[in-house]
Amino acid sequence: MNISGIFTAKKATRGSEFLNPENLKSINISGIFTAKKATRGSEFLNPENLKSMNISGIFTAKEATRGSEFLNPENLKSMNISGIFTAKKATRGSEFLNSENLKSMNISGIFTAKKATRGSEFPNPENLKS
């Protein structure tokens, strides 16, 4: 995966204007990364906003549990997603990992990583290139 990525770091909860949905809609996004406690101001992850983007990777890290309705199976079905990454404790709204739900999506990779709490090595663009 060649990922250019958008990275939100630990406690990046406010003042993330560059992640504004209007700004993101004009970008071809190959990776969205939300890190620990990135729970507020995450309207860019709204299903309606995501539907207008070409997304090949969605990364949710530890405790990114609120505002995760974008991970709803119904929302994911409308997206072309080649990678979904969920880390430890991303437990709510994880019904999208149900085998029945996954069958209806075009998904080439699902990665779960234990204790990926600090922007982690696995979301690193250099590591993800294939």
Q: Rounded to an integer, what distance in angstroms lies between the CA atom of residue 117 and that of residue 61?
A: 6
Q: What is the per-residue pLDDT for 23?
A: 47
In this structure, of 33-37, 86-90, 120-124, the range with the lowest mean pLDDT score is: 120-124
Question: Band of the pLDDT at 121, cuts 50, 70, 90?
Answer: very low
What percent of the chain clears pLDDT 90, i.e. is strictly above it?
0
Instruction: Write down the H helix ranges in the chain.
Output: 21-25, 47-51, 73-76, 99-103, 125-128
Q: What is the per-residue pLDDT for 57?
A: 57
Q: Rounded to an integer, what distance in angstroms lies between the CA atom of residue 47 and that of residue 45?
A: 6
Give the start-to-end residue ranges of the domains of the chain: 2-11+23-97
Q: What is the per-residue pLDDT for 51?
A: 53
Q: What is the per-residue pLDDT for 83?
A: 57
Mean per-residue pLDDT of the chain: 46
User: Among 74, 63, 77, 55, which Cα is nearest to 6's?
Assistant: 55
Question: Band of the pLDDT at 109, cuts 50, 70, 90?
Answer: low
Whether the CB-CB separation of 27 and 54 falls below 8 Å is answered with: no
Whole-prediction pTM: 0.27
